[in-house]
Amino acid sequence: MSSVGKMCIYCQKPIAIDDRVSLCDRCYAPHHDECWERNGRCSTFRCTGVPRTMEGGDLQAILRVELQRSLEYPVDCPFCANTVYAGEVQGKRKHADKDHPIGHGLLFVGQQKPNSHNDWFGKKFLSKMLGNRSVFLPGATIRSRSCGKCKRLFIWGVAVDEIFIQKLSEENLEHWCPHCSVVLLAGYIEMRKDQDGGAKFTCNDIPNFRKDWFGHNVIDRYFANSWHLLIPNLPAHYCSTCQYTEVAGHPIYRFL
């Protein structure tokens, strides 16, 4: 039975064309229909979404439409009630080397998980050598939303805060590349502004934080359409074969 290139977030098994699928209407995580019923809810941490059922063969097309629609929300920040702006997260490399060209994109930093085979020198050695290897993804960007006041980030309509990031980082489930079927390397997207390649949020529109003073309007219009976010990094998974990269199970780079 042919796979549609997505994994069930609950059982971590491939979703086939003929499978009945329950897609969460809030975080867009796919489940086998029976897996959703067994778990009784969406398997994503803190998600309160309800299932939308479909055939496995329709999953990719529906997922594309729903992810696009999710970028329209929230309009007002649920934490500080200020305006949430649409835009994108992207970094810029200022210094080039063999693996990191100069230009706009995102920096993925791999984090090798601890090796359970401590009795074999070879695996311990490779774990140290391969850990924390960084790869620059030229032109990569994450379409998202951010609050103009508290600088919170919203991806696919979900707030990305410290607790959410911690849960993603502690996740022990394996992720597979939907294109070449290899296990994805766990790591993160560098966000710190003091790091070369660190990403920040840029608005699509011109933010208008203060309407009562002409001087502030000028500053907002020409200088304040981007800001660094309050999160140090964004957990991600990366394919070393085709460079497919995803955040929270959703593709951000080389999505075919």
pTM of the model: 0.70
Higher confidence at residue 62 or residue 122?
62
Q: How confident is the model at residue 49 (pLDDT cuts 50, 70, 90)?
A: confident
As a whole number, mean pLDDT of residues 139-162 equals: 89
Q: What is the CATH number of domain 1-70?
A: 3.30.40
Nearest to 71, CA basis, from 161, 159, 147, 157? 157
Check whether 191 has a pLDDT greater than 90. yes
pLDDT at 152: 92
Which of 47-61, 75-89, 158-172, 183-197 is predicted least confidently?
158-172
Higher confidence at residue 18 or residue 177?
18
Give me the percent of the chain exceeding a pLDDT of 90.
28
Task: Write the CA distances from 14 to 10, 40, 44, 49, 204, integer angstroms.
Answer: 11, 20, 17, 22, 36
Containing 162, the helix (H) or strand (E) segment is helix 162-169
Residues of the chain with CATH 3.30.40: 1-70
